Structure 1
């Protein structure tokens, strides 16, 4: 489904965000990318939908070279690849339904874009997406009246309305409390399993990554240093990914891992 071939990304300040990335992700996988802040997790994720352009190498998606496409083809790619952000990226002063309908704006005719009139079919898709994440009853409520968890579910519904093949989630629970975080993660897992949508998630919460993802990719200084099943992640592996950072520690007596 997605393949990175010798991918490098260097920013204008000569920082090497990604170094020689070779990676294959198949349709329907639930992948968590973990590592320290600044390790290159977000860059790796955002290169998939061309939010960042790579410096060299290739990214392939279903035999299409992602880094070679231009113009309308990029927009078509982003319709297939949904994106969920830590900050939700919602229009807070309008209704939940209108926020989900935003996903259809690129395919509207000019007069519909000007008037803001959506088709019946688009409205049905939007309402169905809201039902899939359990907030259909909030369709006509303004977004700024919702909790953080409900807002993230609106963002997820907006992505589902696109009928994507892949969902990229960039720190989707970073601003949520533990209970709400699990509700959002339950939604992502259910959608992944029931709809065979690939989920690729960048996350700091290692314990959540190990619980929900089937595959873990560990990134350090722009390089993949671990790629395997979540059951293969041991304290030794985590120490290899995080090093001696004070951000993440392994208790040598109990084997438990935690942020400090």
Structure 2
């Protein structure tokens, strides 16, 4: 479970990104976080894995107080949390398989990291992850020969190879065409349901959020203004999140 209790985040320049956030997310939920650019969506999910530190309040992940973690504790804590980015964050001149195997590097002894020798079980796990997202046939293809959608699947496979309990997705379909975006969202929903992985998705495409996610959290100027099931979201709720007369990206 993820639990925010009166959490605030203020950046060094004085920008208040999160204001008194109170929020609970249960294991296995598929949650979309929506709102205008700069509303605090990315900040919210990046606090969960300590990419950003909070200034006050309490943030618990599976009963662990995230703010109290130090050094090696943070690295151990992050093993259970996968992260997917809009930009994929792949080594494009390397093969798909090697990019997925990167997820094993933190657990490897120095000599293996230095020589790039991965244990057999890590390779099997990486290949299984690629099969799970439908690109096993691309395992030995260079990443720069893949489409954008295929590259995002490589990033997803890299995360799945760690067998996380939580996946944080920061605008994972923003750079994809509509058809490919839907396909990636279908992968995320399937993984959420089949593996009981909690997924928090920061997304601009409201229609995709409403179609694929079970719950929507609407943020405006660092505050939660809506938190509820997707099937009751109507125009009045979107106006509350985005403001009237603001364009809502479909």
Q: How many aligned residue pairs are there? A: 250
The runs of 5 or more residues in structure 1 that have no matched partner are: 249-257
Aligned mates of 1:229, 1:244 — CA distance in 2: 21
The equivalences for 1:50-61 within 5 A come to 50-61=50-61
Aligned mates of 2:13, 2:30 — CA distance in 1: 33
1:139 to 2:170 alignment: no
Aligned mates of 1:246, 1:195 — CA distance in 2: 37
Aligned mates of 2:142, 2:82 — CA distance in 1: 23
Matched residue, 1:209: 209
Which 4+ residue blocks in structure 1 deviate beyond 4 angstroms? none
Aligned mates of 2:234, 2:77 — CA distance in 1: 36
Give 1:244 shift: 2.7
Matched residue, 1:98: 98
Matched residue, 2:160: 160
Aligned mates of 1:77, 1:201 — CA distance in 2: 20
In the superposition, the TM-score normalised over structure 2's length comes to: 0.99
In the superposition, the TM-score normalised over structure 1's length comes to: 0.95
Give 1:163 shift: 0.5
The equivalences for 1:60-99 within 5 A come to 60-99=60-99
The equivalences for 1:217-228 within 5 A come to 217-228=217-228
Give 1:245 shift: 4.9
SS of the residue corresponding to residue 158 of structure 1 reads helix
Matched residue, 2:125: 125
The runs of 5 or more residues in structure 2 that have no matched partner are: none
Aligned mates of 2:69, 2:246 — CA distance in 1: 41
SS of the residue corresponding to residue 172 of structure 2 reads coil
Deviation by residue 1:207-229 (Cα, 9 ceiling, x = unmatched): 00000110000000000010000
SS of the residue corresponding to residue 157 of structure 2 reads helix
Cα RMSD after superposing both structures: 0.8
Give 1:232 shift: 1.6
Deviation by residue 1:101-128 (Cα, 9 ceiling, x = unmatched): 0000000001101101000000000000
Matched residue, 1:251: none
Deviation by residue 1:73-124 (Cα, 9 ceiling, x = unmatched): 1111211000000000000000000000000000000110110100000000
